[in-house]
Every structure is written in structure tokens, then in C-alpha cells.
Amino acid sequence: MKRYEVIIVGAGPSGLSAAIEAAQSGLQVVVFDENGRPGGQLFKQIHKFFGSKEHQAKIRGVRIGENLLAQAKELGVKVILNATVLGIYKNKEVSVLIEKEVQNYKADAVIIATGAAENMIPFEGWTLPGVMGAGAAQTMMNIQGVRPGSKILMVGSGNVGLVVSYQLMQAGCKVEAIIDAAPRIGGYGVHASKVARTGVPFYTSYTVLEAKGNATDGSVSSAVIAKVDERFKPIPGTQIELDVDTICIAVGLSPMSQLADNAGCEMTFAPTKGGNVPVLTQDGETSIKGIFCAGDVGGIEEASSAMIQGKIAATAIAQELGYIDHDTFEEKKSIYADSLLKLRAGMFAPGSKGKVIDKTDEGYTISKSILTHGYLAESELSDFPALDTSGGEHIVIECTQNIPCDPCQSACPQGCIIVGDNITLLPKLSKEKKCTGCGLCVGVCSGQAIFLVNDSYADGYGTVGLPYEFLPYPKAGTIGKALDRSGREICDATVVEVRANKVMDKTAMLVMKVPLAQIGSARFFQPIGLESLEGVS
């Protein structure tokens, strides 16, 4: 039986990070993954991540994946693909199906980093082709390069539902609606806003009743949604039939903890962690010494924290097996723990699950409009700290919820934006420093919540610079309509400039000219002749 010091199951963000950390400490490590390509779900995350620099904030998930792979390769980490782990046993033996044969391995330590699977909700017709997980749609379009459908209904307004909706539009699909049975939008307000301002309607307190099939092949041809009462029961007479060919379900994730259970680890049912999970120590060790879990398998969070958890588990193993001394372990662990703590703060932190939060940490009233419609009401915005009312060219930061993120602070070469060490706090504008209108923050903000406004552009006209990630990139001179935060057409607009550079990584800053009276409302640009965003081909 072949031996390794560490066997890692899963080559996603957590497993790869663990492998890198273990290899750096000198451990002999192997990673098994059932897929043909490594990276887990990272390569379909084409949006920019949140957090701070240490969490690789403002970098797209796909690039983080590429970096992890490059690092693993450089360290000589052995990643065995198409290798399905079928079982793990108490004595740290691992059965792996490789090429039609089951092979057994023995390890001194095992890290289970198998991630999570999408939750589903049943409704009439949910087995019809065309109903799929939001992650499935994401795989089809971002990995395979094929649109899952043309007209989409998104069920679920958590971050997955919001991010995938946005990416569906980037792929050239039309998102007809995003619905959620809860009365509030579940994901980050900034993610909701970037979808809302393109004109996608949100229906909170709505559920999907039925998927109807077409006469040709029986796949989805429409969806019936209805409003629900406080007990989530559909209210008769509120049905709306939507003309869609695809229904994406984004109602949360469940840890894939079967291997931990199979090994005999103590399990617990923890709704806040997403279901049945192994009981873990701070280092991620299960009740069986030497068997660890890292990432979503131990409780649903996101990729950034999964990567840190992987590193913590590997560090603990390195100490246990004598590759690093106790002091080094404590030092590393405290850095990682601190890093993890930063991500686990704010309104959407695991500890805030299920709580209704009405005020920010600073005491500002959280926008009700953003929670129900997905966009800020202009009247609510004036309450927040980052509203610059001075004249000339200046930025407006529409970041109104406590989420762990600070790239705007380091992006500004002038030091105009202040978040501070507590990255969950809202950004503020410096009173002394003056914005030069470079627009870097506009392109860098992972939430696409910063706008560059100029109220002295020309007689009667101002400009609004906004983050833009759709094809075709309009050129200077392109004529279109300006949309407000809700996606409603408010006036004519002309593109005066499209700025892009390496730091902004494919997010352009589109500057449009609008009547002066509209610079506080105009937040998106729609070229004329393109009713939707189907401008891809």
C-alpha cells in the first residue's frame, strides 16, 4: 500500500491551499480530485473577490485559481485528477478510484476538502430539462462556453443567485427576474445593485410554483411564480407567468461531508453551517486524530475563507508531524486566524445568519430599498459617509452595508478613500485629500459600487463614470440611454470615454455625458439598438 504523509481530497481552493502550505513545510503530499481539471469551482468564479489584499481581494476567482495551480506546480505538489475518493477509514486509509481500478493509500494525515453541493427546492415541473442549479448554469457558460438558455428566471437572491445572474448577462443571456421567498434579498446589496441597474426586476416574497414544458421536446417554456405570505404559503391570485426557457435555482449549499461520516468522524446537524457537518477543532481536526476538514465541507462560507482553513489544517499537520516547531505553528496560526476573523465579520458573516440587521456597525440605517428591490433609493444615499457634495469631478461610493472589503482604499493613489484596519466598515472620504478623477477605484471595487461624477463637464451637462463589463464595449461617441439604479431609462446619454487598464482587469470605466440634473441618478448605460445586453456575438 502506497503511503503519503498527507492525502488531500479535493483540489478546490481549500485543498490546493492546504497542499501548498503542506509542501512549503516540507510534507510529502498528494491531492486527489475526481474532476478532469483542478481548481474545484474557482474557475467559474469570474467575478472579483472581496476581502483585503491578504485575501486576494479585487482579483477574479479564476485568476486566484490559476495562481494556486502555478504555486502548486512550482512546489511539485502531486495533483492526481480523475481520481475519485470512494472511502476514508479511521486508520487514515483512503480508497481511490483511478482509471477503472480502486487503489488504497495510507496517510499520516488526511484533509477532506470536498466542498459543497447546491441545494434544490422542489416544485411542479422541477425535473424538466431547463431547470438547473445556478452553479450548473455557471459551469455551462463560464467553463464550457455554452449558454444554458436564453431567457432565465433566477430563484434565490443570495450571493450565488446574484453573481450568477450578472454572469448570465455577461454571457449574453437575458435574466427576466430574480425571485426569493424571503422578504429580503439575501446577498450583498452591491451584487444586487449591479444587476438591478441593468433592469432586472427583483421579486421578494415570491416563490416558483411551476415550470411548464414546451410541446416540442418538453423542456422549460415558462415559469409560474406567486407571492407568498409570512408562512411562505403562496397567495392565491398572485401568479405571474414568465416567458423563460431556463430556471436556475440558487437556494444555498450543503456540505459534502459523506467522507467524514464514512471515516467515523463525529457529526452534527448545524443549520447555520448548511446541514450535516463534522465536529471540528479550531484547526479543522475532526474527532479522529489526523483527519481534518477544510472549506465548505465543514460549514458553508466562501472560497476566501476556505483557502485560509486549508492553510490552517496543513500547518497543524506540519507541527504534528514535526516539520515545524510549536512557535512557528502558533505564529502562523495566529496570522491565519486573524485573516479568517476579518472575513467572518459584518452583516453577512456566518454569525449573522438569520438575524435581521437594520443598522450598520457605524449606526447608519440600512437601505430598505436595497433589501427589497436591489437598489438604493436616492434619498437613502445622503445618509451615508461617502457622499461628496463638493463640486467638480469627484467619486460617489454607494457602499452601504458592512461587508469585509477594502480594495478601494489601496486603489486610490491620492489616499482619498479611508476604510481603516477594520475592513468591514464602510468607506469614508478624506476631507483633506482631493480626487483627481483617475477612476481606478471605479474599476477596482469588487462590488462595482463607485461612480465618478463630474458636475462641471459642459454647459448644462455632467458626466458619470461607471464600471462596465459587457460586450461590446461602447466607444466614445456611442449614443444610448442612461438608466437609473432601478434600470429605468431616464435620459439620453453619450459615451465620452471608455477607460481600461491592467489594474482594473477587464472592468472598464465608461464615462457618459448626461444632463446635469441626472448625474445623481444615472448609473448605467444602454447603447441604442440593444434592448437587452445580448450584444455578445
Partner 1 sequence: MGIIIRTKHTQPFIPQPDDSMIICRCEEITKGEIRKAVYDGMRTINEVKRYLRAGMGLCQGQTCQRLVLGIIASESQISAGELGHITGRMPVRPATMDYIGKSTEHSEGVERYESK
Partner 2 sequence: MSTLRIEKHPIIEEYYKGPLVHFRYDGKDAEGYAGESVAAALRAMGVRIHRYTTKEHRPRGVFCAIGRCTDCVMVVNGIPNVRTCITPLEEGMIVQTQYGLEVGEGK
Residue ranges that bind partner 1, judged by CB under 8 A: 1-2, 34, 38, 72-73, 76-87, 95, 97-104, 117, 119-124, 126-127, 254, 256-262, 267, 269, 271, 275-276
Answer yes or no: are the C-beta atoms of 92 and 110 closer than 8 Å. Answer: yes
By a kind-dependent CB cut-off of 5 to 8 A, residue 41 interacts, out of partner 1, partner 2, none, with: partner 2
DSSP at 423: T
SS (H, E, C) 209-272: EEEEECCCCCCEEEEEEEEECCCCCECCCCCEEECCCEEEECCCEEECCHHHHHHCCCEEEEHH
Least distance between partner 2 and beta carbon 217 (Å): 5
Interface with partner 2: number of residues (CB under 8 A):
44
Cβ proximity to partner 2, 129 vs 413, nearer residue: 129
Closest CB 507 distance from partner 1, rounded Å: 31
CA-CA distance, 426 to 506, in Å (whole number)?
25
Cis? peptide before 472, omega within 30° of 0: yes
Beta strand residue intervals within 357-507, DSSP E:
393-397, 417-418, 428-429, 450-458, 461-468, 479-483, 489-499
- Contacting partner 2 within 153-182 (CB under 8 A): 170-172
Identify what 536 binds: partner 2, partner 1, none; CB under 5 to 8 Å per kind.
partner 2
| Three-state secondary-structure class, residue 495 | strand
CB of 199 to partner 2, least distance (A): 18
Is 460 one of the binding residues for partner 2 (CB under 8 A)? no
Q: What DSSP string runs through 49-75?
A: P-B-GGGTTTSBHHHHHHHHHHHHHHT
In the complex, the smallest distance separating the C-beta of residue 245 from partner 1, rounded to whole angstroms, is 20
Of the candidate residues 127, 379, 382, 389, the single one contacting partner 2 (CB under 8 A): 127
Options 5, 66, 108, 147; binder of partner 2; rule CB under 8 A: 147
**Spatial separation of the C-alpha atoms in residues 136 and 131, rounded to whole Å:** 10
Residue 320 binds to partner 2 (criterion: CB under 8 A)? no
Closer residue to partner 1 in complex, CB, 186/275:
275
Per partner kind, with CB cut-offs from 5 to 8 A, the member of partner 1, partner 2, none near residue 135 is: partner 2
Distance CA 13, CA 28 (A): 19
Chosen from partner 2, partner 1, none, partner binding at 447 (C-beta under 5 to 8 Å by type): none
Binding residue for partner 2 (CB under 8 A) from 74, 124, 217, 325? 217
Least CB distance from residue 211 to partner 1, whole Å?
A: 12
Work out what residue 35 binds among partner 2, partner 1, none; the CB cut-off runs from 5 to 8 Å by kind. Answer: partner 2
What is the rounded CA–CA span in Å between residue 412 and residue 417? 7
Residue from 76, 99, 101, 146 touching partner 2 (CB under 8 A): that is: 146
Closer residue to partner 1 in complex, CB, 156/443? 156
Per-residue HEC secondary structure of 298-315 comes to HCCCCHHHHHHHHHHHHH
Q: Which three cell numbers stand for residue 121?
A: 427546492
**Of 90-98, 181-189, 211-219, 265-273: span binding partner 2 (CB under 8 A):** 211-219
User: Residue 436 has which C-alpha cell?
Assistant: 483627481
By beta-carbon proximity to partner 2, the closer residue of 132 and 425 is 132
Give the pairing type, strands 202-204 and 174-180.
Answer: parallel
Whole-number Å distance between alpha carbons of 126 and 131: 6
Residues forming contacts to partner 2 in the complex (CB under 8 A) are 34-37, 41, 46, 60, 62, 117-118, 127-133, 135-137, 139-148, 170-172, 213, 217-219, 469-471, 473, 506, 536-537
